[in-house]
Structure 1
Amino acid sequence: MTILVIIGNGFDIQNGLPTSYRDFHKLYSSKLNDILVHFPDFFDDQEWSYFEENLAVFDEDNFRETSALEPSMDDMIESSKYVNGYNDEIEEKVRELVNDIHDSFKAWVKSINVNKALKFMAFPEGCKFINFNYTPTLQQVYLVPDINVLHIHGQVRGNIIFGHGAGNGNKASSSSFNENKPWFEEANKSLASVTDQLYKPVNEILDNSRASLEGYGNVSKVIVIGHSINEIDVPYFKLILDTYPDVTWENWNYDEGIMESHENLLNLGVAESKLNSSCSSGLNLAYPQ
C-alpha cells in the first residue's frame, strides 16, 4: 500500500525555511518594484502574497510610455530607421523585464539554505511524494530518496517553472494602440508576449507528469501538507482524485488556510466522509520522529 504525500510551501515554512513570498519581497522588492509597477494587480498586494498570480495582467501602455520614446510621424516619413529603432528598443526592454523577474525569482530560490531546516516529523513507511516546492528539503533533511519525489514544478538543482495560470497568458491591459498604429506591430507583439512568457503551462506539465501521477499503484491515503489547493494547481489534484477515488485524505494547514484548503478539496469532489483537515502544528504528534 502506498501513501501519497503532497507537499506545499507551508511544509518548508514549518521547517523554518524563509520560503514565503513575504521573504522574497524582503530581499527583492528594491530590485523589482520599478518593474512590477507595470503589473497593476500588485497595487493592493504590498508583500507579494500572490506574486505569481499577479503576473497575469500587464499594463502595455504604461510600459510602452516609460520604456521608449515614440518617433514622430515626421521622423517616420523621413526614414524607416525610426520605426525599426523603436520596435527594437521595446523588444529589448521587454526582454530585460522578463529576464529580471525570472532571474530574481530563481536567485531567491537558490539562496534558500535547506541545511537550516528544522526537522519536525517523520513520514510513515511506503510514502511517495508530489512536491510543489523547488527545495530539496525532503531529500536532504528527511532523507527521502530522489526516486520517491516528483518535483512537479522543477527544483533548484534543475529547471524551475513558475508563473501565473490565467488562460494561455496574453492577458494584457492595453488600449486600442494596436489598431491605431499598425507600423509598430513588432513592438506590439513584444509587449503582448510578456504574460505569455510569465505563464505556467499547467496542462503541459500535467501531460508530462501523467504517467507518474497515475502510476503510484495501490494508494490507501493522500496526505496534503501546507498546500492551499489554489486554482492554478487544481488540475493536478483533480487527476489524483480521479485516479485514486477511494482513498482517504488528510489535509494539514494553518489558521484560515485549514478551512480554505478543506473547502477547496470538497469542491474538487473529495467526499466529506473521507476528508480530515487539521492544524499543521499537530503533525509532529501524528507522525512523531
Structure 2
Amino acid sequence: MRSATLARCATGHDRPESAVTIAGIRTSIDVDSIIKDLGDFMVSYAADDWSDAYHHDFQYEVERVVERLSVMLRNQFGKWIRQLVIPTRSSAGKRLQSIDANGIFLTFNYTGTLREGYAVPDAHVLHIHGCADLEDDDLILGHAWNPQTRKSLNDREDIEEIDTRLMEANHILDTYFAATFKPSDQLIQRNRQFFDGLFDIQEVWVLGHSLSDVDEPYFKALLTVPSVSRACWSIACRSASDGSDKQDRLQELGVDATRIFPTSWDEM
C-alpha cells in the first residue's frame, strides 16, 4: 500500500509544525500601514522649505520597503535556511514514528529533514518550493494574489484627485505584488510527472500544514488524481478543536468528509 505525505517543516526539530510561522511571512503585506508609516515623506506642496526632491522622496522610501520585502527578504531567508543544522536520526530529540520512508512526499519544507531524520530517499521527495541543499535552487516565497485578477491600488473612483506621488507609490506596490506572486499553477505543471505518478495512493498524511489559501492549488491538483481523492486522509492535529478546524478545511478543499481522520501528534 503506497502512501503520500504532505509535510511542512522548517528545521525538523521535534515537530513538523515548526514551519507554520516561517510560512506566514510570505502571505501578506499591509499596504495601508506602509503608506501611513511613510506619510511624513509626502511633504506638503505648501511647505516653506519645499524642495524639488520632495516630488520623489515618498516614492523612493516606498521602493526601499518593497525591495526589503522582496529581494532582500528572499536573500536573507535563503542564507538563514541554508545554515540550519538539520537533526539526524541519531541526534533528533524526538522523531515521528509514523513516517514511512517508502512513501511519496510532497513537502513545503526547504530542508533535507526527511532524508537526514527519516532516511527517506531524495527520489521519493518533491520539494515543491525549492530545496535548500541545492545552492542554486530558487526558494519560492510569495503570496496567492494573482496579479491578473488582483485589483490595482490605483483602480479607485478618486484617482483624478489623489496626489501624483501616491499614485506612483501605488504603482510601485502593484509591481511588488506582481513580482512576488507565487506561481503555483506553473509549479504544478513543471512537476506534472510527480502528480501523474500518484495513481495507486491509498493513504494521505498531512503533517504540519496550515491548509492556508496560498497552497490551495496544490490540494486541488492532488484531488484531481482519482486514487488520491479516494484515499484516507490523516491530518496531524494539536487538539480536538484544531482537528475539527482542519477537518472542515479539508472538506472545503474537496476531501470527502468520511475519508478524513484527525490524528494527535502524540500518536504519531
When normalised by structure 2's length, the TM-score is 0.75
Deviation at 1:159, TM superposition (A): 1.9
Instruction: Report the CA distance between 1:151 and its aligned residue.
Output: 0.8
Counterpart in the other structure of 2:261? 276
Q: Secondary structure at the match of 2:224?
A: helix
Q: Please give the residue correspondences for 1:237-276 in structure 2 after superposition, counting only pairs within 5 Å.
A: 237-243=219-225, 244=227, 245-255=229-239, 256-276=241-261
Shift, 1:12, TM fit? 3.4
Q: Which residue of 2 aligns with 1:105?
A: 77
Aligned-partner Cα distance in 1 for 2:11–2:61: 43
Range with greater deviation from structure 2 (233-242 or 99-108)? 99-108
From 130, 142, 167, give the equivalent of 2:118.
142
| Residues 127-136 or 233-242, more deviating | 233-242
AA at the equivalent of 2:130: G
Deviation of 1:276 (Å)? 1.6
Partner of 1:58: 31
Query: Residue 165 of structure 1: which of 135, 140, 144 is its match?
Result: 144
The offset of 1:110, in angstroms, is 2.9
Give 5+ residue unaligned stretches, structure 1. 25-48, 284-289
Contact 2:20-2:209 within 8 A present in 1 as well: no
Identity %: 22
Shift of 1:183: 7.2
Note the aligned Cα RMSD (angstroms): 3.7
Which AA in structure 2 matches 1:9?
C
Equivalent of 1:214, from 184, 196, 200? Answer: 196
The CA distance in 1 between the partners of 2:17 and 2:223, in whole Å, is: 30
**Range moving further from structure 2, 161-170 or 206-215:** 161-170
Offset from partner CA, 1:42-61 (integer Å, 9 cap, x none): xxxxxxx94333x2432352
1:10-49 → structure 2 map (5 Å cutoff): 12=12, 14-15=14-15, 19-21=19-21
- Contact 1:165–1:199 at 8 Å: present in 2 too? yes
* Larger proportion of helix: 1
Alpha-carbon distance between aligned partners in 2 of 1:11 and 1:111, rounded to the nearest angstrom:
10
Cα distance in 2 for partners of 1:88, 1:160 equals 27
Separation in 2 of the partners of 1:132 and 1:161? 10
* One-letter identity of the residue aligned with 1:120: L
CA contact (8 A) 2:8 2:17 kept: no
Tell me how many residue pairs correspond in the alignment: 253
For structure 2, list consecutive stretches of 5 or more residues without a partner in the other structure. none
CA displacement 1:171-203 (0-9 Å, x = unmatched): 759985775344776544223323333432222
Return 129-138 or 215-224, whichever deviates more: 215-224
Letter in 1 for 2:115: Q
Segment of structure 1 superposing worse, 98-107 or 138-147: 98-107
> 2:11–2:18: 8 Å Cα contact kept in structure 1?
no
State whether structure 2 residue 200 is matched by structure 1 residue 228.
no
> What per-residue deviation string (whole Å, max 9, x for no partner) do you get for residues 185-224 of structure 1?
6544223323333432222222322331122232122122
Give the AA of the match of 2:250.
L
Question: Structure 1 178/211 Cα, relative in aligned 2: closer, same or farther at 3 Å?
Answer: farther
Residues 100-150 of structure 1: CA deviation (Å, up to 9, x unaligned): 433343344334321264433253364110001112100111121111100
